[in-house]
């Protein structure tokens, strides 16, 4: 049995391009600097946190995943 475990698999990343206000970009860059991380990390971690904590969204996802809910196509 190995003493160390293999590192978790890195998730496959996608590129996302979006527009934000100058103020929001400034705050994003300062926050990334503050936590010594990239802006991409701040955005990803923030969205993961948002999606995890939004119970209404979790209910929505559960309903969409229900095999009896009908259409499963991407919107």
What pLDDT score does 70 carry?
55
Is 0.75 topped by the overall pTM? no
User: 32 and 38 in contact (C-beta within 8 Å)?
Assistant: yes
- Encode pLDDT of 14-59 as tens digits: 999 999 999 999 999 999 999 999 999 999 999 999 999 999 999 9
What pLDDT score does 3 carry?
78
Rounded distance, CA 35 to CA 29, Å? 10
pLDDT band at 68 (very low <50, low <70, confident <90, very high): low
Q: For residue 43, give the nearest of 22, 54, 29, 61 by alpha carbon.
A: 29
Q: Which two tokens stand for residue 16?
A: 């996302």
Domain residue limits, the chain = 37-66
- The most distant pair of C-alpha atoms in the chain lies apart, rounded to whole Å, by 52
């Amino acid at each position: 049995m190995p003493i160390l475990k293999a590192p978790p698999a890195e998730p496959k990343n996608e590129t996302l391009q979006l527009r934000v206000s100058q103020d929001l970009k400034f705050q994003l860059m300062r926050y990334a600097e503050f936590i010594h991380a990239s802006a991409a990390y701040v955005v990803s971690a923030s969205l993961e946190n948002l999606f995890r904590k939004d119970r209404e969204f979790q209910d929505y996802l559960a309903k969409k995943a229900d095999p009896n809910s009908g259409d499963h196509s991407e919107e």
